[in-house]
Amino acid sequence: MRQDLYDKLVSYILEDQNKFYRLAFSYVRCQEDALDVVQSAVCKALEHYGMLKNEEAIKTWFYRILVNESLMLLRQKKRMVLSGDEVMEEPAYEEKAFEAQDDFTVHLNHLEEDVQEIIRLRFFEELSLKEIAQIRELNLNTVKAKLSRGLRD
Amino acid sequence: MNQMEEAKRSYDAVPIPQELSERVLSEIKKADLRRKGIQMLQKKRMAKRTLASAAAAVVLFTGALNTSTAFAETVSTLPVIGAVAKVLTFRSWETETDDLKISVEIPSVEMIAQEFKGIEKSVNEEIHGLCQKYADEAVKRAEEYKAAFLATGGTEEEWAAHNIQIQVGYEVKNQTEDHLSLLITGNENWSSAYSEMRYYNFDLKKGQLLTLEDILGSSYAEKAEASIRSQMEERQKVQNIGYWEEIPVIDENTRFYVNEQGNPVIVFEAYEVAPGSAGAQEFEIVK
């Protein structure tokens, strides 16, 4: 039974790894970092697969790990930049210029971070609102409100 | 929602680096190794328990010592290793397909002395079953690996370069007039996680399977553990091997063979008592 679930998790990871990478990339915006995020998410998931309750939960459970890993890496980066003695970099600047061709993406990048995130999960990863709420550990209504705010702005 | 679609398109257009599947696979393999490390002890106990019950059932086989004449003829043409017992290849085959190469050599133990009461027959049956099972499972694992490899963007050519090989075989660790130690091994060249090692020790004088207790006496567990601990300490100094704090319990299921001096040598597989980089660890317990 446990073994079974483990095998399912492994095949899910193998199957959807490209999606993981894209989502991670949408957070960290850099190939190396995105690879690191996916790798450590896979590592954590396999290590703690005992916490996985059932097969249906695999997706949301894994996405939660993935999103948390991405956010953690972003936080670490921010801290690193601030504490460094070198010339301060402004990481956001480059990223906006890079996306300049795409009006909507620019627009998206201007929204609050958590609103951006919900839009990405909803429309790019095509997750249901309920799944998003589970992944981000938010109230379903909060997710709905944030999403509609994001779309209106 | 046109803009949204466009944004989604650019989101989906993020190129996937080739490295991704390699890194994901390497994590999966690492996790497999970790799991194997935990399961190994339990599995080992289980396996050895079956051996013990096989030995107990020996009496039932008394009458059934004679094998087929064809087999007996093959036997007589093979060189005799020792005076009272010989180990010979019972069946051996090799196949090579595009995907993998497998070679299997299954041994049989033939006792010459009468008082063996057919013990070798039950042991042989167990050995044959074990080898066959390992070979079958290894082929299946290789096929699964291939499917996963192709599913994640690997090509047939890249797969061919993997050169998958499976080997099942045996080794006579040692044989004297008094005892015979046989090692059965199963290996896959692409993963060490499923390697199998099984030792069989025969007391040729008494016609039975040898246990640690037979050699070291009733306090064999304490004796062995003390000896292992002191040897570990020594090796830690000389070779800088960081042994785990806990060592597996020494009991009737502990893996060992008998060396030329008649001392048992306890064998721990890689990861069992030390980091995998240190490899398998052997400890001779002086009587």
For residue B17, give both structure tokens.
């680096």
Three-state SS for B91-141 is EEEEEECCCEEEEEEEEEEEECCHHHCCHHHHHHHHHHHHHHHHHHHHHHH
How far B27 CA sits from the closest chain A CA (Å)? 6
For residue B17, give the chain A residue with the closest CA.
A31
Q: What does the pLDDT look like over B202-243, one tens digit per residue?
A: 887 777 788 899 899 889 999 999 999 999 988 888 888 888
Element (H, E) at B180: strand B179-188
Q: Tell me, what's the pLDDT at B65?
A: 30
Cα separation of B58 and A41, whole Å? Answer: 52
Average pLDDT value for residue range B2-6? 73
Give pLDDT tens digits for B33-42: 777 665 554 5
ipTM of the complex: 0.73
Q: Which residue has the higher pLDDT, B104 or B256?
A: B256
The percentage of residues in chain B with a pLDDT greater than 90, rounded to a whole number, is: 8
Which residues from B are below 8 Å from A17, CB to CB?
Answer: 20-21, 24, 152
Contact B256, B224 (CB under 8 A): no
**pLDDT score at B11:** 82
Examine the pLDDT at B150 and tell me if it is beyond 60. yes
Q: Could you tell me the pTM of the whole model?
A: 0.44
Min distance A128 CA to chain B CA atoms (Å)? 16
Q: From the CA of A26, how many Å to the nearest CA of chain B?
A: 8
The residue of chain A with its CA nearest to that of B22 is A39
Does B27 contact A104 at a Cβ distance shorter than 8 Å? no
Secondary structure of chain A as H, E, C letters: CHHHHHHHHHHHHHHHHHHHHHHHHHHHCCHHHHHHHHHHHHHHHHHCHHHCCCHHHHHHHHHHHHHHHHHHHHHHHHHHHHHCCCCCCCHHHHHHHHCCCCHHHHHHHHCCHHHHHHHHHHHHCCCCHHHHHHHHCCCHHHHHHHHHHHHHC
Rounded Cα–Cα distance for residues B135 and B100 (Å): 12
Mutant choice from B10, B12, B23, B137 vs A, greatest count of A C-beta within 10 A? B23
More confident residue, A33 or B277: A33
Taking the CA of residue A1 and the nearest CA in chain B, the distance in Å comes to: 15
Q: What's the average model confidence in pLDDT over A57-80?
A: 86
Does B78 reach chain A within 8 Å, measured CB to CB?
Answer: no
A-B Cβ pairs (cutoff 8 Å, strict): 71
The arithmetic mean of pLDDT across residues B158-181, rounded, is 81
Residue A43: its chain B contacts at CB < 8 A?
A: 27, 30-31
Averaged pLDDT, A4-10: 85
Residue pair B268/B248 in contact (Cβ under 8 Å)? The answer is yes
In tens, the pLDDT along A19-39 reads: 999 999 988 888 899 999 999
Q: Which residues on chain A are in Cβ contact (under 8 Å) with B14?
A: 21-22, 25-26
The residue ranking higher by pLDDT, B11 or B194, is B11
